[in-house]
A and B are shown apart, each in its own frame.
Chain A
Amino acid sequence: MTRMSAIDKYRTIFKECFQYDGDVDSLEYQSIEEWDSVAHMQLMTELEEEFKIELDIDDIIDFSSFKVGIEILRKYNVEVN
């Protein structure tokens, strides 16, 4: 059995939250119909559960893209890249 890398887990959470099969690395908030405000909160909850962190309100508001998210998670000592 192979273990999933952190970046793969991160990508999988995006794909599952948005039910989206395309390339998630370039996604930004509302760049696809599926990433709306509700899906955003589900994404935040999934990331918190997966990486065992609690995101601050400011970071949830600033989490505007897949790439920005990687930088935000780094603040919580979560290296996904």
Chain B
Amino acid sequence: MELDVTQILKIQENRHPILFIDKITSINPGDSAVAIKNYSYNEWFFPSHFEDDPNVPGFIQIESLVQTFIMTFLSIEGVQGNKTNFLKINNAVFKKKIVPGDVTTIYAHLESFKRGLAKGKAHSEVDGEMACSAEFLVSVPAILDKFKPK
């Protein structure tokens, strides 16, 4: 199943200028998602990062990974549209500089989703070459709060 950006906007809450996925090319709710992000020089951060060497900041690469990752569980029926919180990022690795004109393909896998806590990992590739990877722990506060001791 593919999702265009209007469908992505219905499932998750990130909006311009911090939405960093353009299209979902494949999704298996509760398991995995594959996204595409195109980096044009028109991106707001390129002129300042850096003027003489434009490349995608690391925090944006991580954000694009986690935005793909959250699609793996926000696409589950009944979970759609919830806000999420970052809890933990482990083993973040940056292997390749991403520059204007690059297209990243992001692969995310959900290892577990229980009581509002999602655990999993994602990595991005440019032309089949690894660019960035990380493991995530993300919460869905609206769900997690239902299980808190009183």
Residues of A within 8 A of B (CB): 29, 37-38, 40-42, 44-45, 57, 60-64
Contacts and interface: CB of A to CB of B under 8 A. Distances in A.
Interface stretch (B25-33, B109-117, B122-130): B109-117
A57 B145 CA distance: 12
24 contacts: A37-B145, A37-B147, A37-B148, A38-B117, A38-B144, A40-B148, A40-B149, A41-B114, A41-B115, A41-B117, A41-B144, A42-B117, A44-B115, A45-B114, A45-B115, A57-B146, A60-B115, A60-B147, A60-B149, A61-B148, A61-B149, A61-B150, A63-B149, A64-B149
B139 interface: yes
Interface residues of B, number: 14
B114 A61 contact: no
* Closest 3 pairs (CB-CB, A-B): A29-B149, A37-B148, A64-B149
Interface string B37-73: 0000000000000000000000000000000000000
A57 B147 contact: yes
